[in-house]
Amino acid sequence: MPREKKVEHYDVVVIGGGAAGLTAAIYAGRARLNTLLIEKALVGGLATYTNEIENYPGFPDSPKGEDITNKMKQQAKNMGVKFKLTDVKSVDLEGEEKKVETFRNTYIAKTVILATGGRPRITKAKNEENYLFDKGISFCATCDAAANTGKTVVVIGSGDAAIEEGMFLTKFASKVIVSVMHDEGKMDCNEIAKEAALKNPKMEFIWNSVVDSFEGEGHLDKVVLKNLKTQELIEVPCDNCFEFIGYIPNTEIFKDQINLTPQGYILTNDKMETNIEGVFACGDVREKWLKQVATAVGDGAVAGYAAEKYIAESEAFHNVIMQKDKPGLTYVYNAIDAESRAFLSTIEKFEEMYSENLVVNRIDVYKSTGLADRLGITNFPAVVTTINGAISKIYTDDIDENEITSELEKIC
């Protein structure tokens, strides 16, 4: 008989334990939210595989990636974050209770933060796995260019990333040899980058080529290319190879629920909100311009903070605005708008008149529109009356004090 799954409840479940997920968890944990982080491989994510991180602020001695991410992990633990090392198999993100399924457990959460990162696309040529990351095959020029000062490097690909990163590499390397699968002069990048690259004296191109194999004792020292037209094998001695043939976001399990770009990245706004309320995304998994540890950390901070605000608003909405004990009156206004402020004295009058029988709330949309959004109000100021936890009437556009008074007379 199949074993029944254990069910656990959390305020926040973070999927993915890289720099973005760890930071989101630190912020959520620090806000005293019951937070779980689920990681399927290595807590620390991609940065853990990097030997030297030279550009993460506050660490001038170029530490190993894992030295930084281990500290993040410790910090999250100090904030009470719980960790599970397992693979998230599926999610059900709609509604107020979100479900995250692993092999053994079901986690139910008020908010979910998606921080599953991505993986560089690889060539799948012979011996490639022997040299990935620190043994001669890199995927990040910003990260590894300085280590190749004065050296010969091979770049695979001819898209915008390959050519622009290749040109960046010419500032450090003595020679940048680019393997392009197309006929001479044809590249996948934009025309401006192409022209600049073709004129760059440090760049050489090997046309109609793909990688056949990677060779070297312990560390890569040769890339063997194959000419697609003649099948000729071309040995290219080098110190390092940079592959820029695409990046694959880890979004397969979200694709039917979350809005993605055609390339599979999660679309968010600047609060890291996705198309589903209470679901946030951060780090390399989302559509963004610069994928680095520093930006992953920034995204994670915003996502953790936004999750906390979302939960606080949810609680205020259910327990205060839509309370069932008494009739309610909620004034939704913008504190920087004079008309909105002027009507506050009328609200105070209602509060005094019906002090025993009416719950009066004020929502200032200048601070956040979250509660107004939940009430479905986009025009401010507005007055909302509630009975038994349901909206009775919404008054907006030339709010009539007498109309409200006559309703309050009936319901209070």
Cα atoms found within 13 Å of the Cα of residue 167, Cβ hemisphere only = 16
**Structure-derived torsion over alpha carbons of residues 222, 228, 232, 233, reported in degrees to the nearest 10:** 10
Establish if 80 lies at the interface with ligand FAD (CB under 6 A). no
Binding mask 120-139 for ligand FAD (x = CB under 6 A): x------------x----xx
Q: Which of 294, 344, 360, 399 binds ligand FAD (CB under 6 A)?
A: 294
Q: Which of 26, 173, 272, 293 binds ligand FAD (CB under 6 A)?
A: 293
Establish if 251 lies at the interface with ligand FAD (CB under 6 A). no
Of 162-170, 257-265, 289-297, 369-377: span binding ligand FAD (CB under 6 A): 289-297
**In this structure, what DSSP letter does residue 197 have?**
H
Q: Which of 32, 55, 233, 378 binds ligand FAD (CB under 6 A)?
A: 55
Q: Least distance (Å) from ligand FAD to the CB of residue 330?
A: 39
- How distant, in Å, are the alpha carbons of 41, 108, 251, 316, 363 from that of 84? 10, 14, 20, 30, 39
Q: Least distance (Å) from ligand FAD to the CB of residue 249?
A: 9
Establish if 40 lies at the interface with ligand FAD (CB under 6 A). yes
Q: 45 in the Ramachandran plot: left (φ > 0), alpha (ψ -120 to 50) or beta?
A: left
Q: How far apart are the first and last CA of the chain?
A: 57
Gap between the Cα atoms of 38 and 245, Å rounded: 29
Among 17, 76, 13, 68, which Cα is nearest to 41's?
A: 17
Closer to ligand FAD by CB, 50 or 208: give it: 50
Establish if 298 lies at the interface with ligand FAD (CB under 6 A). no
Q: Least distance (Å) from ligand FAD to the CB of residue 409?
A: 57
Closer to ligand FAD by CB, 272 or 372: give it: 272
Q: Which of 13, 17, 73, 109 binds ligand FAD (CB under 6 A)?
A: 17
Q: Least distance (Å) from ligand FAD to the CB of residue 160?
A: 18
In this structure, how many other beta carbons lie within 10 angstroms of the beta carbon of residue 235?
12
Q: Least distance (Å) from ligand FAD to the CB of residue 62?
A: 9
Establish if 204 lies at the interface with ligand FAD (CB under 6 A). no
| Reduced DSSP (H G I as helix, E B as strand, rest coil) percent helix, strand, coil of the chain, to 5 | 30, 30, 40
How many residues of this chain bind ligand FAD (CB under 6 A)? 39
In sequence order, the 6+-apart residues with CB closer than 8 A to the CB of 153 are: 169, 173, 175, 176, 177, 238, 239, 240, 241, 242
344-353 and 401-411 helices, crossing angle to 10°: 20
Gap between the Cα atoms of 164 and 189, Å rounded: 9
In sequence order, the 6+-apart residues with CB closer than 8 A to the CB of 378 are: 372
Establish if 46 lies at the interface with ligand FAD (CB under 6 A). yes
Closer to ligand FAD by CB, 87 or 315: give it: 87
Among 3, 21, 2, which Cα is nearest to 88's?
A: 21
Closer to ligand FAD by CB, 39 or 407: give it: 39
Establish if 66 lies at the interface with ligand FAD (CB under 6 A). no
Residues that bind ligand FAD (CB under 6 A): 15-21, 38-42, 45-47, 50, 53, 55-56, 87-88, 115-117, 120, 133, 138-140, 143, 250, 253, 283-284, 291-294, 296
